[in-house]
Amino acid sequence: MYRCEICFYMMTEQDELFDALKELLPLPHFAHEYLRSAEPDEALAGRADVILADISRTQMEKTVATLLSCRKQGAELIFLADKEQAATLTLQDGENITDIWIMPLLVSEFRFRLIRWQKTYKMSRDLWQAQSYLDATINSVPHLIWYKNKKGAHMKVNEAFCKAVNKTMDQIEGHGHYYIWDIDPDEYAKGEFICMESEYEVMEKRETCVFDETVKIGDSMRELKTYKSPLFDLDGSVMGTVGVAIDVTQERLYEQMMIKNANTDFLTGLYNRRYVYEFIDKQGDGHLAVFCIDLDHFKSVNDIYGHHEGDKALVLTAKTLQDSISEGLIARMGGDEFLVVIVGARTEDEVERTRRMIKERLDGEYARHENFWNISASVGAAYSLTGKESFHQLFHKADELMYQEKESNR
């Protein structure tokens, strides 16, 4: 998948060696560029990804110092040197050099070394790609992922793990259980927290096992569903484990949040139309008082002051209803239409007093806002006399009365 462009710079006087370099066919996903000079050229060396320098006929110390100082970060440096030079380079600059090829070098041997280097170079890029794939995958997962050696030291973790324990990857990798989870060994011995015994069980069984474990994250206890698998060494022996933990506690919070989002209006935080019908279905038969509320001249606020002010009016309506109604269901049915449902028997006078209170409270709040002075509330109310009237009947009646009031307000 990756695309790798390699710029070769060869410092040599031997045409046949440079020609052999140019004959090196790029592997799939690779492209080559070739630069050459007889003497050290800092500009060319600074562009190169790979420097092949024939120092067998040069002043070695000066040439080596020049190339080491001007090469770009990550560039590979291969010297073509005689045996005496190679011995000196190995002692003085071995850590900074990729390889040393002993001169004199036949063209056939030079080609062989180039091909072998090319395979090694590709392996390093393949390894980089595999590492990139792994990191991108595990860090995109919201669950905790970790790799441990046989002694329980964490060799690699994902970002979700770091967030859970409030430590960086550098602080975690190479460290053991107690340090990472901030658990005192004596406290761990009580058996209340996540335990290492499950790791030993996985390594002994040599198969994936599932556990319900409890871990202390900060000051809170979390329930984890963990999936742990053995990691095998080259000889087939178990060298550690890989684990994935689903935070069941957090999943429950997500579930509750999803349910809330599905049942509430995003802008006002009130229940939405969907939840109203779910609520009514749960009530069954019984006495209900239903209040339908609609804002008069609301469109003028949007037209004159913009939808941002219109949203403020809707939020103000929701807050006023919540402050005014101590019991019952309050919902936004859509647009500027609101609903209040109160469960229980009510007299006609009680329902009318509640209806008037809702209207007066809303109209009073609108009057206090300089941009809402033109808004008023129309409120229609209906209630069940026998307890057998359906919500739909009451809602239809309250809605009709609300529109009658709206017409009279006009």
pLDDT band, very low/low/confident/very high, at 178 (cuts 50, 70, 90): confident
Q: pLDDT tens, 8-30?
A: 999 999 999 999 999 999 999 99
8 Å CB contact between 155 and 147: yes
pLDDT of residue 189: 52
Put simply, whether the predicted model's pTM sits higher than 0.75 gets the answer no
Q: Which residues pair with 210 in a beta bridge?
A: 227
- Which alpha helices (H) appear in 23-106, and where do they start and end? 42-47, 60-70, 83-93
Tokens matching residue 117: 């280097």
Query: Residues with Cβ < 8 Å from 242, sequence gap 6 or more?
Result: 145, 146, 147, 148, 228, 229, 231
Q: Look at residue 184 and tell me whether its pLDDT is greater than 90.
A: no
Overall size of the chain counted in residues: 410
pLDDT of residue 193: 44
Q: pLDDT tens, 384-401?
A: 988 788 899 999 999 999
Give backbone dihedrals phi and psi of 208, rounded to 5 degrees, phi first: -70, 135
Q: How far apart are CA 244 and CA 277, in angstroms?
A: 40
Output the DSSP codes for 279-326.
HHHHH-SS-EEEEEEEEETHHHHHHHH-HHHHHHHHHHHHHHHHHH-S
In order of 19, 34, 202, 385, the CA distances from 23 in angstroms are 6, 10, 53, 97
pLDDT band, very low/low/confident/very high, at 192 (cuts 50, 70, 90): very low
Bond prior to 104 in cis (omega within 30° of 0): yes
Q: pLDDT tens, 115-150?
A: 999 999 999 999 999 999 999 999 999 999 999 999
Q: Which helix (H) or strand (E) holds 103?
A: none
Residue found by looking up tokens 């000066």 in the block:
62
Q: Which residues pair with 384 in a beta bridge?
A: none
Q: Which residues pair with 18 in a beta bridge?
A: none
Tokens matching residue 92: 């003085």
pLDDT band, very low/low/confident/very high, at 3 (cuts 50, 70, 90): very high
Tell which residue, 262, 256, 294, has the closest CA to residue 278.
262
Tell which residue, 76, 72, 44, 38, has the closest CA to residue 56.
38
Q: pLDDT tens, 252-310?
A: 777 788 888 889 999 999 999 999 998 998 887 689 999 999 999 999 999 899 999 99
Tokens matching residue 342: 């109160």
8 Å CB contact between 78 and 98: yes
pLDDT of residue 262: 86
8 Å CB contact between 161 and 144: yes
Task: Specify the amino acid at residue 410.
Answer: R
Tokens matching residue 116: 């072998």
pLDDT band, very low/low/confident/very high, at 164 (cuts 50, 70, 90): confident
pLDDT band, very low/low/confident/very high, at 187 (cuts 50, 70, 90): low
Give the distance between the most distant pair of CA atoms in the chain: 112
Q: Look at residue 171 and tell me whether its pLDDT is greater than 80.
A: yes
